[in-house]
Amino acid sequence: MTLKERYERIAAEVGDACEACGRPRDAVRVIGVSKTVDVDAVEEAIAAGVHDFGENRPAELARKHDAFPHERWHFIGNIQSRQLNMVVGRACLIHSLCQVSHADRIERLAAEAGIVQDVLIEVNDGEENKQGLAPADLLAMLEHCAGLAHVRVRGLMTMAPQGDMAKASATFERLAKLRDEMGAALAERGMQDVDLHELSMGMSDDYREAIPQGATMVRIGRAIFSENYA
């Protein structure tokens, strides 16, 4: 399959999965995770119809964004404070915020640039080897971010355990439930304007499990960019 054929297959399958659970076919945005490919593959993907790209290294995000500044670039990697200056203002959405100090650094950089930086809070479902905020700490983080003028939380992100689709589905279900609980808790505190619509969850192997649980974004790398992905 060509890259175009792989992307069209994924886009069709995402649309079918949305339709199967009663959602509009365009309810889920496909983010092409381009972290393993160079600019020529990004250019090919753009021609195929991909316009959202995910990068996990600040320098690569900056390089590819500057090569294709009119596309939508998402930062999906671990945040390193000293490199956030390459991310803020280039990323349309930072998916991996989970520390107050990083939120404050994003606030300062966005204020200097005169912008509001959209972010997702990354939630760890209990895996010790992965980053992310514990669910019990999420409300405090959301309240902190609500007080920042140049940081706008748009929703939540998580990564599921690999290799077990039942566990993945349960992880995604818990994130959707947590999002609803947080929305209610914020409303009780008079913060109804905090919009947690976005749920970034699901990758090449488990996006089919994420969509019925309410994913609004799926992060697809190998299934689009790898010729060897079955």
Pick the CATH number of 3-225 from 3.40.50.10470, 3.10.180.10, 3.40.190.10, 3.20.20.10: 3.20.20.10
The model's pLDDT over 14-25, given as tens digits with 9 standing for 90+, comes to 999 999 999 999
Please give the C-alpha separations between residue 110 and each of 59, 156, 180, 221, in angstroms, as whole numbers.
18, 20, 28, 28
pTM of this structure = 0.96
Q: What is the mean pLDDT of the chain?
A: 95
230 band by pLDDT with thresholds 50, 70 and 90: low
Crossing angle (nearest 10°) for helices 39-48 and 58-67 = 60
Q: Tell which residue, 29, 9, 7, has the closest CA to residue 18.
A: 29
The model's pLDDT over 181-210, given as tens digits with 9 standing for 90+, comes to 999 999 999 888 889 999 999 999 999 999
For the CA atoms of 206, 60, 121, 158, the dihedral, rounded to the nearest 10 degrees, stands at: 20
DSSP 128: T
The model's pLDDT over 29-65, given as tens digits with 9 standing for 90+, comes to 999 999 999 999 999 999 999 999 999 999 999 999 9
What proportions of the chain, in percent to the nearest 5, are helix, strand and coil?
45, 15, 35
**Separation of first and last alpha carbons in the chain:** 10
Q: Mean pLDDT, to the nearest integer, of 160-185?
A: 95
pLDDT of 12 reads 97
Please state, for a pLDDT cut of 90, what percent of the chain lies above it: 90
